[in-house]
Amino acid sequence: MVIHVITLFPSMFKGFIDSSIISRAIDKDAVDIRLVDLRSFGMGPHRIVDDTPFGGGGGMVMRVEPIHNALKGIEGSAGHVILTTPRGKIFKQDDAFRLSKEDTITIICGHYEGVDERVSELFVDEELSIGDYVLTGGEIPAMAIIDAVVRIIPGVLGKNTIITGDSHYTGLLEHPQYTRPREYMGKAVPSVLLSGNHKEIQKWRRMMSLKATMDRRPDMLEKTSLTEEDILILKEDG
C-alpha cells in the first residue's frame, strides 16, 4: 500500500515513521509512506500556500493551487484522496478496514481556518475527522488514520496479535487484561483467568466486554448484534 501525505510539516512525521510498528511495516514493504512537502509547491519566491478569506473574517485559508500542484506532482495515481478536517465524517474502525484495502491513498493535511472549498470539490474523495475537537492541523489526524490502517494490513502485527479481539472490532469494548504479578497492592488477578478453563475464561471475557460497553459506551450496544446469552448477562447486571 502506498500512502502519500501532503503536509506543511513533514518533520512531524519523523518520529512516527521511525516508530516500531510503522517502521517494521515499512521494512516489510507492507506500506510505503511518501511525504510531500506542500511548502515546495507554494506560490512565488516566498512559497505562499495561504491567503485571507473572501468575505472577510479572521485567519487564513489554504489556497487551491499549491495543493493541486502537489497532487499533480505525485508519481502515478494519488488513489483515494482524503482531507483531514474537523468537519469531516468521524473516522471509525470500519473506515480503517475499508482504507486498508486501497492500493494508494493520499491524505491532505488541512491547516489554518480551513482549506479553499474547491480543493474538496475538485480533488477530495472523502473528508475525515478524528473526533469532535479542533486541533491546530491535520498532521496528528493523518498519523492517527495511518496508524489505524497500517496495523491491520495483513502481516504487519505479529502472529500472536489477535485484532479480532480489539475494542471496536466486535462492536464491543475489550475486556480487561492482566499479566504478572498475580497480586499487586492488594489487587488480585481474577481467579477465572488462572483456572485454565478456556470455556469459562471466554465466558468471563464476553461478560466483561459487555459490562464495559454498557457502562462506558451504551451507544455502541445499540448498534451491535447480541446473543440471547449476552442479553441475559446484561439483565443480571441490572
Which are the catalytic amino acids? Answer: 86, 113, 151, 166
Type of residue found at 59: G
- Least distance from C-beta 50 to ligand ADE, angstroms? 15
Q: From the list 1, 13, 50, 84, which residue makes contact with ligand ADE (rule: CB under 6 A)?
A: 84
Residues with Cβ within 8 Å of residue 101, at least 6 apart in sequence: none
Residue where the block lists cell 512531524: 12
Q: From the list 8, 38, 130, 148, which residue makes contact with ligand ADE (rule: CB under 6 A)?
A: 130
Return the number of other C-beta atoms located less than 10 Å from residue 198's C-beta. 8
What cell was used for 42? 507554494
- Least distance from C-beta 81 to ligand ADE, angstroms? 15
Q: Which stretch binds ligand ADE (CB under 6 A): 7-15, 129-137, 178-186, 230-238?
A: 129-137
Positions in 144-173 near ligand ADE (CB under 6 A): none
Q: From the list 21, 30, 39, 86, which residue makes contact with ligand ADE (rule: CB under 6 A)?
A: 86
What cell was used for 6? 501532503
Residue burial 211-236, b: 16+ Cβ < 10 Å; e: rest: bbbbeeeeebeeeeeeeeebeebbee
135 lies in the binding site for ligand ADE (CB under 6 A): yes
Residues that bind ligand ADE (CB under 6 A): 84-86, 88, 110, 129-131, 133-135, 138, 141
